[in-house]
Amino acid sequence: MPDPLDRFPPTRAAGLRRLADFVPHAGETYGMERNTDAGPEGQQAVSGLSPWLRHRLVTEHEVIASVLEHHDPHAARRFVQEVLWRTYWKGWLQMNPEVWTRFLTERDVPLSSDLARAVAAAEAGATGIEGFDHWAQELVQTGNLHNHARMWFASIWIFTLGLPWALGAEFFLRHLLDGDPASNTLSWRWVAGLQTVGKTYLATTGNIERFTNGRFRPQGLATRALPLVEAPLPVAKPLAPLKLSPSPGRSLLLVTGEDLSPESALPAGWRPEAVVIAVSGDPQSPWPGGGAAARFAAAALEDAATRCAAHFDRPCVVASSLVSDAVLKMARDTQTDRVIVLEAPVGPVADAVVQLETVLMGQGIALTRVRRSWDDRLWPLATKGFFKFKERAPAALIAEGLRI
């Protein structure tokens, strides 16, 4: 099996090349063929941009702007909506952080020996269910799955195999190159009937056969998908604007794997004293171990370090953890008064930033979160379902300079 990083080189330059190659196909053809999974060796209609988008090696703004330069907004509407789903999920989770807390709690519930064996068999692709076993192995080997296959997999995991949804979501986070806490967690919840209360997704033999071009026709799938239930969520927390304001003193820029293009997010001409690039300190973060997802993230950080050093013309170091001596050492060496960080969406990186903030406060150093303008305009719109969000998004996109 080829190295997944040969197909998805973890650099901004490679992401921009993939975008340029895909743009001509982002119109009606994408809309008609995007649901078909032709397999890892087949010709796919989807863009394959998600690993770069996930770490913002390439940004949502850049992707939509490039597509709309070549296509009429109506022709490209399906693709634009897919990009906006990513933004919607992040904004929704940002205002409902209790959902992330519940995911972590359910993920860490001790398993009986029988259930642990069933989970291990599912992750190994050893259930005997056609298609499902292939996708489990494809995920581990390639770090990727077609979006439709992800839905089928999650449905079979929950309703046919009866496994805990949070462990399936964690399995995806460990291996997907584009594993995103918001998109992944909320998509699994949607399949399970938790996200849109009572609405589930049922994988069927006929649908799988049709949209895999007959590659798979699994038998024995669940014929009903009874929704999972949970206690009502707390009232959503509205988001206040977070913009970088002029401030006396010296600043250190902290870059995380959530946004590896800070040069396009911060005001032109602004310069920190130095830059530190780091990942989460959580051992159960989206990138543990030495799998493809971890290697992609590590190489992407190095790519960002090179670009940041050139753009800001300042020293730039890569730290193994957010909560590490490297961050404090650079802050002390540069005599900074505050650390600036692009706001990390709810997830393990944001959790680690909270830990870092406590450490910095103990040293008399302030931590200031800054939100990218894309997020500042669009995240607060994610108060209800996606279709309400979609109706409200055009005004924000126009404010972002896009031709909608």
Question: Which tops the pLDDT comparison, 56 or 241?
Answer: 56
Where are the alpha helices (H) located in 143-196, listed in sequence order?
A: 147-155, 165-175, 181-192
How far apart CA 194 and CA 285 sit, in angstroms, is 23
| 358-386 mean pLDDT | 94
pLDDT at 322 (0 to 100): 84
| 356 and 303 within one domain | yes
Output phi, psi for 141, to 5 deg: -80, -35
| 193 and 150 within one domain | yes
Residue partners of 164: CB distance under 8 A and separation at least 6: 106, 109, 115, 119
* Chain Cα centroid distance, residue 202: 24
Q: Domain total for the chain? A: 3
pTM, full prediction: 0.95
Q: Which helix (H) or strand (E) holds 352?
A: helix 348-362
| 87-95 mean pLDDT | 98
What is the maximum span of the chain, computed from C-alpha positions, in angstroms? Answer: 66
pLDDT at 283 (0 to 100): 43
How far apart CA 247 and CA 401 sit, in angstroms, is 28
The CATH number covering residue 314 comes to 3.40.50.620
Amino acid residing at 169: A
Place of tokens 């990138």: 287
| 256 and 197 within one domain | no
Helix (H, G, I), strand (E, B) or coil at 253: strand
Asked whether the predicted pLDDT for residue 229 surpasses 80, the reply is: yes
Amino acid residing at 346: V
| 218-237 mean pLDDT | 96
Place of tokens 């992707």: 63
Quickly count: other Cβ atoms within 10 Å of residue 78's Cβ: 16
The CATH number covering residue 173 comes to 1.10.579.10
Would you state the structure tokens that stand for residue 3, as one six-digit string?
């190295």
The CATH number covering residue 67 comes to 1.25.40
The answer as to whether 282 is a domain residue is yes
| 82 and 11 within one domain | yes
| 260-267 mean pLDDT | 94
| 134 and 181 within one domain | yes
Q: Which domain holds residue 146?
A: 111-211
| Average pLDDT over the chain, rounded to an integer | 93
How far apart CA 23 and CA 64 sit, in angstroms, is 10
174: burial class by Cβ within 10 Å (0-12, 13-18, 19+)? buried
- Exposure b/e, 23-44, CB count within 10 A at least 16 = b: bebbbeebbeebebbbbbeeee
Q: Which helix (H) or strand (E) holds 299?
A: helix 292-312
Antiparallel, parallel or unpaired: β 274-278 and 251-256: parallel
How far apart CA 404 and CA 402 sit, in angstroms, is 6
- The candidate with the shortest Cα–Cα distance to 4, out of 287, 304, 293, is 293
CA distances from 143 to 43, 50, 226 (A): 17, 11, 30
Quickly count: other Cβ atoms within 10 Å of residue 265's Cβ: 19
The answer as to whether 76 is a domain residue is yes
pLDDT at 246 (0 to 100): 62
What number of residues does the chain have?
404
- Exposure b/e, 115-148, CB count within 10 A at least 16 = b: eeebbebbbebebebbbbbbbbebbbbbbbbbeb
What are the tens digits of pLDDT across the range 326-360?
888 888 899 999 999 999 999 999 999 999 999 99
| 79-87 mean pLDDT | 97
| 181-202 mean pLDDT | 97
The answer as to whether 58 is a domain residue is yes
| 185 and 136 within one domain | yes
277: burial class by Cβ within 10 Å (0-12, 13-18, 19+)? buried
- What percentage of the chain has pLDDT greater than the value 70? 96
pLDDT at 280 (0 to 100): 62
| 366 and 255 within one domain | yes
| 283 and 259 within one domain | yes
| 386 and 360 within one domain | no
What are the tens digits of pLDDT across the range 272-329?
999 999 876 444 455 555 689 999 999 999 999 999 999 999 999 998 888 778 888 8
| 162 and 87 within one domain | no
